[in-house]
Amino acid sequence: MGNVKTEIPPGTLHMLILKSLVRLGDMHGYGIAQHIQQTSDEVLQVEEGSLYPALQRMLIKGWVAAEWKQSENNRRARFYQLTPEGRKQLARELRNYQQVSGAIAKVIEAV
Amino acid sequence: MGNVKTEIPPGTLHMLILKSLVRLGDMHGYGIAQHIQQTSDEVLQVEEGSLYPALQRMLIKGWVAAEWKQSENNRRARFYQLTPEGRKQLARELRNYQQVSGAIAKVIEAV
DNA sequence: GACTATCCTATAGTCTATCTATGGGAAACG
DNA sequence: CGTTTCCCATAGATAGACTATAGGATAGTC
């Protein structure tokens, strides 16, 4: 099968995390990474060295809030959830992503 | 008008240049940049500091061939054209781009 | 009880590829 | 002539992903 795992394109990781939190509501980093990988049919794989620094940045920016809890597997884990500011940021990033990928599509589909 | 010019997403510039050369056949750097900007309805703007280093890399890789000529405006310009290896590379990059953007779409459109 | 797989967090350092800033030079046009 | 437009090129800054590494705790198995 040609399902080679791929890198996350720079600039899209925050958007993918924020969107995952809309779906998951309240989740730890590991679960967010799993969700992205599964929802993308194993194409997108978020590495730990990308994930945790990104979550830190988003905490500082106030896009997510964090709380230590017990995971469903009885482990200590840091659960994240969207803040109102995070929702606004997600909307901005989605809008921008769609504008840019639409523009790229025009170029690469030009006959 | 909300048409704010945007950066080229890292990893897509080679693809955009190669595709432009399919369309233009034989063109100098300045003309390639114009083509990308116009075809994308002024959304994508390639900066000179990105464009010329990218063309150098592509020359070294053998994806394009170059030749000094006179431009349509009577200026000295370096015209680029695709090589067979460049066509193969474009096919690879298109395939990869579509796989990744399809995967991102699955995540951000998940209900 | 020891061993291993799985779950979960975190940081330092590398690397790639874009951008900004800068510096040319030559033709056209007023 | 002076300004605009066309055209090339490089150095350095920057962003954001990656690899490599380190650690600890639970569950399951032999």
Q: Is residue B79 part of a domain?
A: yes
B76 Cβ under 8 Å from any chain A Cβ: no
CATH number of B98's domain: 1.10.10.10
pLDDT of residue A11: 93
pLDDT beyond 80 at B2: no
In a domain, B5, yes or no: no
- State yes or no: pLDDT of A80 exceeds 70: yes
Percent of chain B's residues with pLDDT above 90:
90
- Which domain does B62 fall in, by range? 13-109
Per-residue pLDDT reduced to its tens digit, B19-46 = 999 999 999 999 999 999 999 999 999 9
Q: What does the pLDDT read at residue A111? A: 77
Q: Does A91 touch chain B (CB under 8 A)?
A: no
Contact between B107 and A6 using a beta-carbon 8 Å cutoff: no
- Stated pTM of the model: 0.90
Angle between helix B29-39 and A84-109 (nearest 10): 120
Considering only the beta carbons, identify the residue of B9, B39, B97 that sits closest to A106.
B39
Residue B16 CB-density burial (10 A; 0-12 exposed, 13-18 middle, 19+ buried) = buried
Task: Note whether residue A3 is domain-resident.
Answer: no
pLDDT score at A4: 57
Query: How far apart are alpha carbons A103 and B39 in whole angstroms?
Result: 8
Residue B5 has pLDDT above 70, yes or no: no
Span CA (B73) to C1' (C30), Å: 18
Q: In the predicted model, is pLDDT for residue A92 greater than 70?
A: yes
Are A11 and B9 in contact (CB < 8 Å)? yes
Whole-number pLDDT of residue A6: 76
CB contact under 8 A, B99 and A43: yes
- Residue in A107, A109, A111 to test binding to B, most B beta-carbons within 10 Å: A107
User: What stretch of H or E contains A76?
Assistant: strand A76-82
Mean pLDDT along residues A45-65: 95
Decide if B8 is inside a domain: no
Q: Does residue A8 sit within a domain?
A: no
Say if residue B64's pLDDT is above 90.
yes
Whether B53 is covered by a domain: the verdict is yes
Count of the separate structural domains present in chain A: 1
In a domain, B1, yes or no: no
Q: Is residue A7 part of a domain?
A: no
Secondary structure string (H, E, C) spanning chain B: CCCCCECCCCCCHHHHHHHHHHHHCCEEHHHHHHHHHHHCCCCECCCHHHHHHHHHHHHHHCCEEEEEEECCCCCEEEEEEECHHHHHHHHHHHHHHHHHHHHHHHHHHCC
Going by pLDDT thresholds of 50, 70 and 90, the confidence category of residue B68 is very high
